[in-house]
Structure 1
Amino acid sequence: MNDDELNATRAPGLPVPSSRLARLARLGSTGAGVAGRVAAGGLAELGRGRRPHLRDLVLTPGNVRRVTDQLADMRGAAMKLGQLLSMDAGEVLPPELAAIMARLRAGAEAMPPAQLRRVLDREWPPGWLGAFARFDVHPIAAASIGQVHRAVLKGGPTLAIKVQYPGVADSIDSDVANVGALMRMSGLLPRGFDLAPYLAEARAQLHAETDYAAEGAHLARFGGLLGGDDRFAVPDFVGEWSTRSVLSMSFMPGDPIETVEHASQAIRDRVARNLIELTLRELFDFGWMQTDPNFANYRWDAEGGRIVLLDFGATRRITPEVADLHRRLLTAALDGDPATLRALAAEVGVIGPDTSPAHANRLVAMAEIACAELRRNEPLDIAALDLPRRMQAEALALAEDGLVPPPLPMDALHVQRKIAGMYLLAARLRARVPVRELVEAHLGRTGPN
Structure 2
Amino acid sequence: MTDIPRRTASRTAKLAGLPLGVAGRTAAGWGRRLAGGDRDEISAQVMAKSAEQLFAVLGELKGGAMKFGQALSVFEAAVPEEMAGPYREALTKLQTAAPPMPTADVHRMLAEQFGRGWRARFREFDEEPAASASIGQVHRAVWRDGRDVAVKVQYPGAEEAVLSDLRQLSRMSRLLQPLAPGMEIKPLITELRERMVEELDYRAEAGNQRRFAAEYADDPEIRVPKVVASAPRAMVSEWVSGRRLSDVIRDGTQEERDHAGERLAGFHYSAPYRVHLLHSDPHPGNFQILPDGRMLVVDFGAVAVLPEGLPHPLVLMTRFALQNRPADLIDLLRAEHFLRPGTEVPGEEILSYLAPFTEPLHTERFRFSRAWLRGQAERVGDLRRPEFDTSRSLNLPPQYLLVHRVTLGTLGVLCQLEAEVPLREIVGRWQPELFAEADPA
TM-score above 0.5: yes
SS at match of 1:353: coil
Query: In structure 2, do the counterparts of structure 1 residues 45 and 276 end up closer, same or farther at CA, with 3 Å as the change threshold?
Result: closer
Counterpart residue identity of residue 290, structure 1: H
Distance 1:260 1:146 in 2: 25
Is the CA contact (8 Å cut-off) linking 2:14 and 2:57 kept in structure 1? Answer: no
Is the CA contact (8 Å cut-off) linking 2:77 and 2:416 kept in structure 1? Answer: no
Match of 1:439 in 2: 427
Query: In structure 2, do the counterparts of structure 1 residues 326 and 152 end up closer, same or farther at CA, with 3 Å as the change threshold?
Result: same
Is the CA contact (8 Å cut-off) linking 1:139 and 1:147 kept in structure 2? Answer: yes
Match of 1:228 in 2: 218
Match of 2:8 in 1: 23
Distance 2:32 2:369 in 1: 47
Distance 1:114 1:180 in 2: 33
SS at match of 1:140: strand
Counterpart residue identity of residue 206, structure 1: M
Distance 1:56 1:30 in 2: 23
Higher relative contact order (CA 8 A, sep 6+): 2
Is the CA contact (8 Å cut-off) linking 1:34 and 1:63 kept in structure 2? Answer: no
Pairing of 1:192-203 with structure 2 (within 5 A): 197-203=187-193
Is the CA contact (8 Å cut-off) linking 1:437 and 1:447 kept in structure 2? Answer: no
Pairing of 1:38-187 with structure 2 (within 5 A): 38=23, 42=27, 59=46, 64-87=51-74, 102=91, 104-105=94-95, 107-184=97-174
Per-residue deviation at 1:65?
4.2
Q: 1:273 aligns with which of 258, 262, 271?
A: 262
Query: In structure 2, do the counterparts of structure 1 residues 407 and 96 end up closer, same or farther at CA, with 3 Å as the change threshold?
Result: farther
Per-residue deviation at 1:447?
6.1
Distance 2:218 2:67 in 1: 33
Distance 1:186 1:253 in 2: 35
Distance 2:177 2:236 in 1: 42
CA displacement 1:370-389 (0-9 Å, x = unmatched): 5244122x3223349x4312
Pairing of 1:263-302 with structure 2 (within 5 A): 268-302=257-291
Structure 2 spans left out of the alignment, 5+ residues? none
Match of 1:353 in 2: 341
CA displacement 1:139-197 (0-9 Å, x = unmatched): 1111111111100134421110111111112333322111112334557599xx99665
Structure 1 spans left out of the alignment, 5+ residues? 1-15
Distance 1:30 1:297 in 2: 26
> Does structure 1 residue 309 correspond to structure 2 residue 297?
yes
Distance 2:282 2:424 in 1: 21
Per-residue deviation at 1:78?
1.7
Query: In structure 2, do the counterparts of structure 1 residues 354 and 65 end up closer, same or farther at CA, with 3 Å as the change threshold?
Result: farther
Q: How many residues align?
A: 420
Counterpart residue identity of residue 419, structure 1: T
Is the CA contact (8 Å cut-off) linking 2:428 and 2:434 kept in structure 1? Answer: yes
SS at match of 1:413: helix
Query: In structure 2, do the counterparts of structure 1 residues 228 and 346 end up closer, same or farther at CA, with 3 Å as the change threshold?
Result: same
Query: In structure 2, do the counterparts of structure 1 residues 122 and 364 end up closer, same or farther at CA, with 3 Å as the change threshold?
Result: same
Query: In structure 2, do the counterparts of structure 1 residues 142 and 399 end up closer, same or farther at CA, with 3 Å as the change threshold?
Result: farther
Q: What is the RMSD of the two structures over their aligned residues, measured on CA atoms?
A: 4.0
What TM-score, normalized to structure 1? Answer: 0.78
Distance 1:254 1:318 in 2: 29
CA displacement 1:202-243 (0-9 Å, x = unmatched): 11211111111000000101111112323222111112xx21
Q: 2:405 aligns with which of 388, 410, 417?
A: 417
Distance 1:49 1:259 in 2: 42
Distance 2:398 2:308 in 1: 15
Query: In structure 2, do the counterparts of structure 1 residues 86 and 339 end up closer, same or farther at CA, with 3 Å as the change threshold?
Result: farther
Stretch moving more, 102-111 or 167-176: 102-111
Query: In structure 2, do the counterparts of structure 1 residues 29 and 315 end up closer, same or farther at CA, with 3 Å as the change threshold?
Result: closer
Distance 2:24 2:368 in 1: 44
Query: In structure 2, do the counterparts of structure 1 residues 67 and 380 end up closer, same or farther at CA, with 3 Å as the change threshold?
Result: closer
Counterpart residue identity of residue 286, structure 1: V
Counterpart residue identity of residue 218, structure 1: N
Stretch moving more, 323-332 or 208-217: 323-332
Is the CA contact (8 Å cut-off) linking 1:20 and 1:174 kept in structure 2? Answer: no
Q: 1:253 aligns with which of 231, 237, 241?
A: 241
Per-residue deviation at 1:439?
2.7
Is the CA contact (8 Å cut-off) linking 2:318 and 2:434 kept in structure 1? Answer: no
Is the CA contact (8 Å cut-off) linking 1:298 and 1:307 kept in structure 2? Answer: yes
Counterpart residue identity of residue 35, structure 1: L
Distance 1:41 1:327 in 2: 43
Q: 1:328 aligns with which of 316, 320, 338?
A: 316
Q: Percent identity?
A: 25
Distance 2:434 2:405 in 1: 27
Query: In structure 2, do the counterparts of structure 1 residues 245 and 365 end up closer, same or farther at CA, with 3 Å as the change threshold?
Result: same
Is the CA contact (8 Å cut-off) linking 1:77 and 1:175 kept in structure 2? Answer: yes
Query: In structure 2, do the counterparts of structure 1 residues 361 and 24 end up closer, same or farther at CA, with 3 Å as the change threshold?
Result: farther
Per-residue deviation at 1:17?
5.5
Counterpart residue identity of residue 415, structure 1: V
Distance 1:447 1:195 in 2: 34
Match of 1:207 in 2: 197
Match of 2:377 in 1: 392
Counterpart residue identity of residue 125, structure 1: G
SS at match of 1:137: strand
Is the CA contact (8 Å cut-off) linking 2:76 and 2:416 kept in structure 1? Answer: no
What TM-score, normalized to structure 2? Answer: 0.79
Distance 2:295 2:206 in 1: 19
Q: Which has the larger radius of gyration?
A: 1
Query: In structure 2, do the counterparts of structure 1 residues 178 and 108 end up closer, same or farther at CA, with 3 Å as the change threshold?
Result: same
SS at match of 1:293: coil
Match of 2:368 in 1: 382
Query: In structure 2, do the counterparts of structure 1 residues 219 and 270 end up closer, same or farther at CA, with 3 Å as the change threshold?
Result: same
